[in-house]
Chain A
Amino acid sequence: MVLNNIEKLLEKYENGETTLKEEQVLKNYFTSDTVAPHLEIYKPMFAYFLGNQQEQFTKDVPLKTKNKFNYKWLSVAAVAVLMIGFYFKSTTQNELGTYEDPQKAYNEVVKSLAMISTQFNKGASTVGYLDELNKGTATLGYLNEIENTKNLIFK
């Protein structure tokens, strides 16, 4: 009998032992119009389960595609900047001009080298004061003597 079968299924159902198929049978039975009076209790339960399957999620989900910064292009940009730099540099250098006459060029070089050496000497002479400093630190060496004698006394 159908009713007998349903009752058995219900018992299994309450013990959590029914398969999905058997549960479907129960759902079909309880949503039909011919439910036995003493089983009416179960009707809202199964109706609720079925009704709840319909609910849907309607909200939009903002899926952002992340724009990852590509470091490859950074190097390309750097190279481009360097190229432009070199280009402008080379064009401006041309405008400095050169000496046509080798003798004149030689004189100019000698003149600038002489200037460099005099300036350098001036700088180097002031470095001489460092000697004084060395002397000073040398005299500080006597402090060691004091330290030694102090150690002798206090030991």
Chain B
Amino acid sequence: MTQTEFLNIVMPFKDKVFRLAKRLLVSTEEAEDATQEVLIKLWNNKSKFEAYKNIEAFSMTMTKNFCLDKLKSKQAQNLKIVHSNYQDHKVSLQKELEAKDSLDWVGRIIADLPEQQKMVIQLRDIEQYELDEICDMLDMNNTAVRVALSRARKTIREKLTNTHSYGIK
């Protein structure tokens, strides 16, 4: 397999890999590294591509495992201070601030969710995968995905209502 063939397969979902990684790892740099790592792993195993039913789902599973490992490792725990710093330079124009602020709230709420719900929300509401595909990727059964999804959505709605009515969290 040549590089171009490989890129043709990988291109359509590399952004999805990146976004899932970012959802889990928070910082852009970390997510970029993770994506790179996943793609290089795919490239090194390209001879086995025919054996996989669905390379995209396989890559997403790989990303999930890689990121969860990363979060568990000591290195990630040391970097936490950097993670919370990254939003600072985003503060910009006054006009955009308000609209963006409520969007940021959603992001923050999702960041507070448990890992599994985070992934389900990411895969379903942002990447728009079918439930069966998500089952495949996360190695969960259909009901578990549904329950996680429902809980995540309810939590987001509740917290949004709270921040809206109180103004301050």
Contacts and interface: CB of A to CB of B under 8 A. Distances in A.
Contacts of A57: 14-15, 17-18, 32, 35
A61 B10 CA distance: 11
A41 B164 contact: yes
A74 interface: no
B69 interface: no
Contact of A55 (B19, B128, B150): B19
Given A23-B128, A61-B40, A62-B40, A44 B160 contact: yes
Chain A contact residues (Cβ within 8 angstroms of B): what range? Answer: 20 to 34
Nearest to A59: B32
Contact of B106 (A23, A44, A55, A61): A44
Nearest to B14: A57
Nearest to A20: B128
A69 interface: no
B144 to A, nearest CB: 11
A20 B125 CA distance: 9
B3 A16 contact: no
**On chain B, which size bracket covers the interface?**
35 or more
Contacts of A44: 102-103, 105-106, 160
Interface in B52-88: none
A45 B158 CA distance: 11
B10 to A, nearest CB: 8
Contact of A63 (B3, B15, B19, B160): B3
Interface of B: 3, 6, 14-15, 17-19, 22, 32, 35-36, 39-40, 43, 102-103, 105-107, 125-128, 130, 145-150, 153-154, 156-157, 160-161, 164
26 contacts: A13-B153, A14-B150, A14-B153, A16-B150, A20-B128, A20-B130, A42-B160, A44-B102, A44-B106, A44-B160, A45-B157, A48-B103, A52-B126, A55-B19, A55-B22, A57-B14, A57-B17, A59-B32, A59-B35, A59-B36, A61-B35, A61-B36, A61-B39, A61-B40, A62-B36, A63-B43
